[in-house]
Each structure stands twice: as structure tokens, then as C-alpha cells.
A and B are shown apart, each in its own frame.
Chain A
Amino acid sequence: MGRFVARRLLVAIPTLLAISFVMYAILALAPIDPLAGFAADPRVPPEVRENIRRSLGLGEAWPYRYVKWLLAAVQGNFGISFVSRSSVSDLLWQRLPTTLAVVGVAYIVGVIIALPAGILSAARRNTVTDHVISLSAYIGFSVPTFFTGVLLIIIFSIKLHWLTFLYDSRVTVHDLDSLVVQIKQSIMPIAVLGLFDAAILTRYIRASMLENLPLDYVRTAHAKGLAERLVVLRHVLRNSLIPVVTLVALGVPAVFGGAIVTEQIFHVPGIGALLITSIGNGDTPVVTAVVLIFAVLVVGFNLIADVLYAVLDPRVKYT
């Protein structure tokens, strides 16, 4: 088992290296000058501009810069933001917990909705219950996340005045009142992502259960005289959740994509919002770091899913 995990880790590292290299090359070779705004200013003499370029480390050839950047990045140093002049890793550490909290809580909400919905839908297949659940799941993953967000704002903020749609990052939880405020402002961003996750998970769980239901071991369980409830929950569900783990891992990039959109709509100060602002400002060091963080998250979750799959399913050989 330990060797299996180690080998997986060894595969993940070259993947991350390749991604970071390609990304750095794209950013370095792109026909966009990070100092374009400066270049348009006629008051800046060319030699000053050249000095600034050199002070930002843009004077050298890009493969050399990549190696330097990589060696620093491994130690957690992503350079200095062009715009805010603060360390990129500080910016990331401020923002990352928010994103992970929103994505994580949304995922838990998604599982809490999807598990009963998927089980019910499969156990009562082709009944009205199943049709209602399946159709809702269909609608859930056909609505783009940005439209769900807009709809929630129209309904709950503008028509009903229940919730504010601007996330206030200054709120800190220290008593009951601030906790209520925090919950109220987090409901909509989490709901947008959570409903999307729930829709996808419900479909996976239902499909996977339907594949298991006609198998021999289920018939055996029935033949032993086990109650339907026990057969479904104890036998079928356990086996059905194994492939769901892999499917969930494949969907991780989409989940983080959804996080970017949600943060943008509700002005949640996470790394997705940071990416959009930095792209707008042409802040290359921050853009590079954020894309790399997203890549680390995606590769990391894939790794976890692979290991989980091997732990859950004894038929998988540890190779």
C-alpha cells in the first residue's frame, strides 16, 4: 500500500512539472507585455522602463527565469505581485482558505442532498419519485453556475430581501450575531456550487446503483430474506460508491471552475476572484501562481481519488 501511494506521488510530480513548464512558457512567449500600461505613458523614458524590466527580473531568457521561478516556488516563494507590490504567497494564503471553505462546504451539501436522492431514485426506478429526481438532476447540471447565482440574487436579495448578495470579507465570527451574518452571506455562494455538485453526484450514484442492482450478490441477499432496505443500503450502496469516487475526481476541474464563477458573482475574496482581477491587471506573477495552485489542487484530488479507489476496492491491484 505504501509503495502504491509513493508510486502515485512520483507520477504526480512530473505531471505538475509539465503543467508548470507549459504554463510558464505560454505566459513568457505570449505577445503581451506586463509593462504595457507603462509603455503607453510618454513620460517614462526608455532607459527607466528597461531598468524596471530588469528589476522585475524580466531581462533574462525565459527558460532561465523558469528554473529560478520553479526553485523559489518549491520553497513557497512565488515572487512579488507587479500591482500590489506584496508577496504573491501572502496573497495566496489570504485567499486560499476562503475558496477551499466554500468549495468544501458546498461539496458536503452536495453529498448530503445527492446520497438520499440517488439511492431513492435507483431503488424506486421508473416511478414518479425517480422521474422527479432524475429530471431535477438534469436541470441542475444544465443550468450554468453563473445563471443559478443570478437567479438566486434576483429571488432572495432583490425580490424577497432575505439575503445580501455582496460577500463582506471583514466579517469575523466572534459571537452569535456575527455567526448569523456569516451564514447569511455564505448561503448563496455555497448553494450555487452545492446544487451543481448535488445534481452531478445524484446522476453518478443512480447510474452506479442501477448497474449493481441486477447482479447475483443482490439476488443472494434477497434470497437470504434480507429486507429491501438492508439490501440496498448495506450491499448495493457500498459497492456502488466505489466507481463514484473516480467520477468525482474527474469532475474536480469543473468544481474549481464553478468556484471561480461563484466568487466573481458574489464577490467572495477567494483565489478565483484573485485570478480574474490579476488577469485584468496583467499581474503575471499572481496569474502564474494561481493557475499553478489550481493545477496542484486538481492533481492532488485525483491522487486522493486513486488511493481511495484502491483502498475501497480490493480487486484493484496496487501497481
Chain B
Amino acid sequence: MATAAKVSPASAGRSAVVLRAQRSLWQDAWHTFSRDRLAVTGLVVLAVITLGALVGPYVWSDQGKEIDFGLSLSGPSLAHPFGNDDLGRDLLARAMLGARVSLAVGVSAVVLAITLGTTIGAVAGYFGRLDNPLMRLTDLFLSLPVLPLLLVLVYLFKDTLQRTIGLELGTFIMIVSVIGFLNWMPTARLVRASFLTLKQREFVEAARSVGAPHGRIIFRHILPNSLSPVLVAATIGIGGAIITESTLSFLGLGFPPDQPTLGRILYEAVNYLDFAPHWAIVPGLAIFLIVLAINFIGDGLRDALDPRRKI
């Protein structure tokens, strides 16, 4: 492929080489990805939901704050396509605000988890002396009972953080860091494994022989080559983090009541399942669609980024 692009038209005419524009690795991955119907569907669904969460609250006339007891618990209608909650607030507006928080928590928690995991995995894989203690630490974290611990941590530190930083930001930072600190282990294992194999390879040896310092070898040579499994893990991790956040909110230990998140809306709806099932179905379906879309994208990425599967 690389040579085909350089061949002059005349010689290409003689040899029966099919001319094709040169594609970079990322274009190649995109090519495979875009042929995966489920992955593309996931991407479209996620894009629509994200757009709705980001732009929706500015476009939609209702802000989800107007209380109207006349509309209390009423089902879907033209003016309120997703129906209303017990205070008569518009559920579409609240779901859009909730999706915004849920997506923000998911992405931030994963950024934290991936950063931590990549750092620990890279150090463990590159510097042999630190490998054993760091992997013991990873094993220890992997055998933690995550959800009980999350519940306890949130309960213990929520009040202090809310008092010092503010109600909404405090809860956000709290939840993001707790989820991040309890989910870095799979990434660390992946990164360590690929560092262990890559550091034995010739190109790394070559870099070392010309005197490249450790930092340069790690960041320029090994890390870019071990990123694709991390990218896949990160994508799927966003879905997991969103479920975790919703679970916390659903158990009543997440965001404060005036801050709608998808899990929180569902938590409030549970006592009204018999009169207003739509109230619970709207946020639940939203979480499900987001997570399903993310899982499809993650799977598509895995196939697209793994060169062994391209035969």
C-alpha cells in the first residue's frame, strides 16, 4: 500500500497494481469501524443523546424547574413528550439535564481511572524493580468489594466536600474521584502487559542504543503502541462509570435532590411506579441506551484497532 501511492501513473498502468490512496493507521481503523453496523448505530445514538444533553436545555422551552401541580404525574403529552413528575416538572428537560451530569461523571471518572492505570501500568512494566509491589497493589484493589466501599466512601466524605467546595461541585468531584480510584486496575494490567512485551522489541532497543532517555522511550516509543487496548477499555469504562454513578444515585447516596441525574430521577420515581410508570422508564431507558451505545462503540473499536483481526 505504501509503495503503491508513490508509483508513477505510467508504471502503474503497466503493472496491474490497483491504485489506492494511502491510508494512515487511524483512517484504516475508521474504515473498519464504519463498516460495523452496530458500532455506527451506537455512535449515532450516543451522538444524538450527547447533543440533546449539551444543547437540549438551551433549545427546549421548559427548564424542568417549573412546578405545576395540575400536571402532577401526568403521562406523555404533546407539550411534555416524556410526561411529568410528582411536582409536575417536565421530564424531557430533567432527563436532558440528568444525561448531562451522567455523561460528565462517566467521562471524567474514566479519564481519572485511565490516567492512574496507565501511569501505574507503565511504571510497573518499564521499571522491573517496581513491578512486583505495584502488581500486588493492583491485585489488592481488584479484590476490593467495589460497590460497598463506594457507598461507604461517599457517605463518609460527602458532607465535608460539600461544605468546602460547594454542594454540586463537591458531590461531582467526590463521585468522580471515588469511581476513578476504584477502577484503574484493568487498565494498569493491560498497559503493564503491553509494556513488558514492547520493551523487548527491536525498535525500543534501537532507541535505547542511540541514547534516548527513559522518558522519551516511554512516551514516544512504547506508549503510543500500547494505546489501542487502553482506548477500548476507556470506552467501555465510560458505560461502567455511568452505571456506577446511577447506582449510587439510585441508592440515595449520589447527587443532591435538586440536581437531576438519571439515577436520581429513577430513585425518585420508584415510589410512584403504580401511578406513573413513565417517570421511571424515561431515565432508565436513557441510561440503558447510553450504556448499550457505548458498549457497541467499544466493541467496534476493539475490532477496528486490533490488527490481528483484519485478515
Residue positions of A touching B, CB distance < 8 A: 15, 18-19, 23, 26-27, 30-32, 138-139, 141-147, 150-151, 153-154, 158, 250, 253-254, 256-257, 260-261, 264-265, 275-276, 279-280, 287, 290-291, 294-295, 297-299, 302
Nearest CB of chain A from residue B171's CB, rounded to whole Å:
15
Nearest CB of chain A from residue B109's CB, rounded to whole Å:
16
Determine whether the beta carbon of B273 is less than 8 Å from that of A147. Answer: no
Determine whether the beta carbon of A298 is less than 8 Å from that of B151. Answer: no
Q: For the complex, is B166 an interface residue (Cβ under 8 Å from A)?
A: no
Segment of B10-18, B155-163, B215-223 in the binding face: B155-163
Q: Which of B145, B252, B280 contacts A150 (CB 8 A)?
A: B280
Please report which residues of chain B, range 230-272, place their CB below 8 angstroms from some CB of chain A when the two chains form the complex: 239, 243, 246-247, 250-253, 263, 266, 269-270
Nearest opposing residue in chain A for B285, CB measure: A147
Q: For the complex, is B202 an interface residue (Cβ under 8 Å from A)?
A: no
Determine whether the beta carbon of B143 is less than 8 Å from that of A26. Answer: no
Nearest CB of chain A from residue B26's CB, rounded to whole Å:
26
Enumerate chain A residues within 8 angstroms of B296, measured Cβ to Cβ.
138
Enumerate chain A residues within 8 angstroms of B273, measured Cβ to Cβ.
150, 153-154, 158
> If the complex has contacts A18-B140, A27-B152, A153-B273, are A142 and B251 also in contact, measured as CB distance less than 8 A?
no
Q: For the complex, is B57 an interface residue (Cβ under 8 Å from A)?
A: no
Determine whether the beta carbon of B153 is less than 8 Å from that of A26. Answer: yes
> If the complex has contacts A138-B295, A142-B295, are A257 and B288 also in contact, measured as CB distance less than 8 A?
no
A150-B266, A276-B252 are known; give 17 further A-B pairs, CB within 8 A. Answer: A19-B140, A26-B152, A26-B156, A31-B156, A31-B157, A138-B292, A147-B266, A147-B285, A158-B277, A256-B148, A261-B247, A279-B152, A279-B155, A279-B253, A287-B152, A295-B144, A299-B143
Determine whether the beta carbon of A256 is less than 8 Å from that of B145. Answer: yes
Nearest opposing residue in chain A for B283, CB measure: A147
Nearest CB of chain A from residue B273's CB, rounded to whole Å:
6
Nearest CB of chain A from residue B37's CB, rounded to whole Å:
11
For chain B, what secondary structure do more than half of its interface residues adopt (helix, strand, loop), or is it mixed?
helix
Expressed in whole angstroms, the Cα–Cα distance for A150 and B276 within the complex equals 12
Expressed in whole angstroms, the Cα–Cα distance for A150 and B296 within the complex equals 24
Q: For the complex, is B139 an interface residue (Cβ under 8 Å from A)?
A: yes
Enumerate chain A residues within 8 angstroms of B76, measured Cβ to Cβ.
none
Expressed in whole angstroms, the Cα–Cα distance for A287 and B145 within the complex equals 13
Enumerate chain A residues within 8 angstroms of B148, measured Cβ to Cβ.
256-257, 260, 275, 290-291, 294
Enumerate chain B residues within 8 angstroms of A276, measured Cβ to Cβ.
151, 251-252
Determine whether the beta carbon of A291 is less than 8 Å from that of B292. Answer: no
Enumerate chain A residues within 8 angstroms of B153, measured Cβ to Cβ.
26
Nearest CB of chain B from residue A34's CB, rounded to whole Å:
11
Nearest opposing residue in chain A for B154, CB measure: A279
Q: Which of A30, A32, A253 contacts B147 (CB 8 A)?
A: A253
Q: For the complex, is B165 an interface residue (Cβ under 8 Å from A)?
A: no
Nearest CB of chain A from residue B41's CB, rounded to whole Å:
11
> If the complex has contacts A19-B143, A144-B243, A299-B143, are A291 and B251 also in contact, measured as CB distance less than 8 A?
no
Enumerate chain A residues within 8 angstroms of B292, measured Cβ to Cβ.
138-139, 142
Residue positions of B touching A, CB distance < 8 A: 139-140, 142-149, 151-153, 155-157, 159-160, 239, 243, 246-247, 250-253, 263, 266, 269-270, 273-274, 277, 280-281, 284-285, 287-288, 291-292, 295-296
Determine whether the beta carbon of A143 is less than 8 Å from that of B288. Answer: yes
Expressed in whole angstroms, the Cα–Cα distance for A287 and B285 within the complex equals 32
Determine whether the beta carbon of A257 is less than 8 Å from that of B147. Answer: yes
Nearest opposing residue in chain A for B277, CB measure: A154
Enumerate chain A residues within 8 angstroms of B144, measured Cβ to Cβ.
19, 253, 295, 298
Expressed in whole angstroms, the Cα–Cα distance for A15 and B139 within the complex equals 9
Q: List 18 A-B contacts (CB under 8 A).
A: A19-B144, A32-B155, A138-B292, A138-B296, A139-B292, A141-B295, A147-B284, A150-B266, A150-B273, A257-B147, A257-B148, A261-B147, A261-B247, A264-B250, A275-B148, A276-B252, A280-B252, A291-B148
Enumerate chain B residues within 8 angstroms of A141, measured Cβ to Cβ.
295
Enumerate chain A residues within 8 angstroms of B251, measured Cβ to Cβ.
260-261, 264, 276
Enumerate chain A residues within 8 angstroms of B247, measured Cβ to Cβ.
144-146, 257, 261
Enumerate chain B residues within 8 angstroms of A145, measured Cβ to Cβ.
247
Nearest CB of chain A from residue B218's CB, rounded to whole Å:
28
Expressed in whole angstroms, the Cα–Cα distance for A26 and B154 within the complex equals 11
Nearest CB of chain B from residue A111's CB, rounded to whole Å:
22
Expressed in whole angstroms, the Cα–Cα distance for A151 and B148 within the complex equals 24
Nearest CB of chain B from residue A217's CB, rounded to whole Å:
21
Determine whether the beta carbon of B143 is less than 8 Å from that of A15. Answer: yes
Enumerate chain A residues within 8 angstroms of B139, measured Cβ to Cβ.
15
Determine whether the beta carbon of B253 is less than 8 Å from that of A261. Answer: no
Q: Which of A30, A151, A256 contacts B284 (CB 8 A)?
A: A151
Nearest CB of chain B from residue A190's CB, rounded to whole Å:
19
Nearest CB of chain A from residue B126's CB, rounded to whole Å:
25
Nearest CB of chain B from residue A204's CB, rounded to whole Å:
14
Q: Which of B140, B157, B239, B291 contacts A15 (CB 8 A)?
A: B140
Nearest opposing residue in chain A for B278, CB measure: A154
Determine whether the beta carbon of A146 is less than 8 Å from that of B266. Answer: yes
Nearest opposing residue in chain A for B243, CB measure: A144
Nearest opposing residue in chain B for A302, CB measure: B143
Expressed in whole angstroms, the Cα–Cα distance for A261 and B243 within the complex equals 12
Enumerate chain B residues within 8 angstroms of A261, measured Cβ to Cβ.
147, 247, 250-251
Expressed in whole angstroms, the Cα–Cα distance for A145 and B287 within the complex equals 11
Expressed in whole angstroms, the Cα–Cα distance for A19 and B143 within the complex equals 9
Nearest CB of chain A from residue B144's CB, rounded to whole Å:
6
Nearest opposing residue in chain A for B182, CB measure: A253
Expressed in whole angstroms, the Cα–Cα distance for A153 and B147 within the complex equals 23
Enumerate chain A residues within 8 angstroms of B155, measured Cβ to Cβ.
32, 279
Determine whether the beta carbon of A298 is less than 8 Å from that of B145. Answer: yes
